Amino acid sequence: MKKKWFLIIVGLLTLINLAAFSRLAYRQWCAHSETKACPRQEIEAEKILVEKLGLRDEQIAPMRALRLKFNQDAAQSSADMERERMALTNLLMAPETDSAAIERVMTRIDSLQSNLQRQVVHNLLAQKTYLNKNQQQLFFALILHSCAMNSNTCINQEPCTNQKE
């Protein structure tokens, strides 16, 4: 009876390890294929802002430039964070636990997340300078409604499939 339970436990642990390895392998080699930001989402987000805020032509171009610059910077920060998460996963999967190395990686991840949050705030403050008082109120109400209350949508109404172009 003990041998049967032992074999069941070994089988379950093997399945768990295979699942973890498969996920790690997918994220390492497949998930980072050449995907681009969804242009449809970019266009939709801009349309929503123009429509809801009543942006004038002279406001659209600088806000677009800010958004594109932010998207580029945020993509780089996200890629850096993903690399650190992979490093953390590798450390956690190592046969010997190196607590000091794990702490260092976690500190770098915290720093990257903090920097990304700063980038978001600086971007919002930069966009705010192009808006009048009424537009600012509407802008932050949109952000509050779309992002803070429902982080899955964050201004864009439909998820993008991130298809290769």
| Cα dihedral across residues 26, 30, 32, 36: positive or negative | negative
Give pLDDT, residue 40.
62
φ/ψ region of 155 (left if φ > 0, alpha if ψ in -120 to 50, else beta) reads left
Task: Read off the pTM.
Answer: 0.62
Looking at the structure, do residues 25 and 42 belong to the same domain, yes or no?
no
Q: How confident is the model at residue 28 (pLDDT cuts 50, 70, 90)?
A: low
Q: Is residue 162 part of a domain?
A: no
Q: Is residue 45 part of a domain?
A: yes
Q: Which tokens belong to 114?
A: 């903090």
Tokens 């809801």 correspond to 52
Looking at the structure, do residues 12 and 57 belong to the same domain, yes or no?
no
Q: Is residue 67 part of a domain?
A: yes
| Vertex 18: Cα angle to 30 and 104 (nearest 5) | 70
Looking at the structure, do residues 68 and 139 belong to the same domain, yes or no?
yes
In angstroms, the Cα distances linking 93 to 19, 35, 114 are 13, 28, 26
**115-140 pLDDT, tens digit each:** 988 998 999 999 999 999 999 998 88
Looking at the structure, do residues 16 and 50 belong to the same domain, yes or no?
no
Q: Which tokens belong to 153?
A: 């949508």
Looking at the structure, do residues 79 and 41 belong to the same domain, yes or no?
yes
| Range(s) of the domain holding residue 2 | 1-31
Looking at the structure, do residues 78 and 127 belong to the same domain, yes or no?
yes
**102-119 pLDDT, tens digit each:** 999 999 999 998 898 899
Give pLDDT, residue 150.
55
Q: What is the CATH number of the domain that holds 90?
A: 1.20.120.1490
Q: What are phi and psi of 97, to 5 degrees?
A: -80, 125
Looking at the structure, do residues 27 and 60 belong to the same domain, yes or no?
no
Looking at the structure, do residues 77 and 27 belong to the same domain, yes or no?
no
Q: Which residues are within 8 A (CB) of 162 and not within 5 positions of it... i.e. 6 or more apart?
A: 35, 36, 37, 38
Looking at the structure, do residues 23 and 42 belong to the same domain, yes or no?
no
Q: Which tokens belong to 164?
A: 């290769």
**38-66 pLDDT, tens digit each:** 556 667 777 888 888 888 989 989 988 99
The number of folded domains in the chain is 2
C-alpha span between 1 and 153 (Å, rounded): 52
Contact 32, 100 (CB under 8 A): no
Give pLDDT, residue 34.
40
Give pLDDT, residue 145.
78
**59-100 pLDDT, tens digit each:** 989 988 998 898 888 888 888 989 999 998 888 888 898 889
Give pLDDT, residue 101.
92
What average pLDDT score do residues 149-162 get? Answer: 47
Q: Is residue 109 part of a domain?
A: yes
Q: Is residue 163 part of a domain?
A: no
Looking at the structure, do residues 86 and 115 belong to the same domain, yes or no?
yes
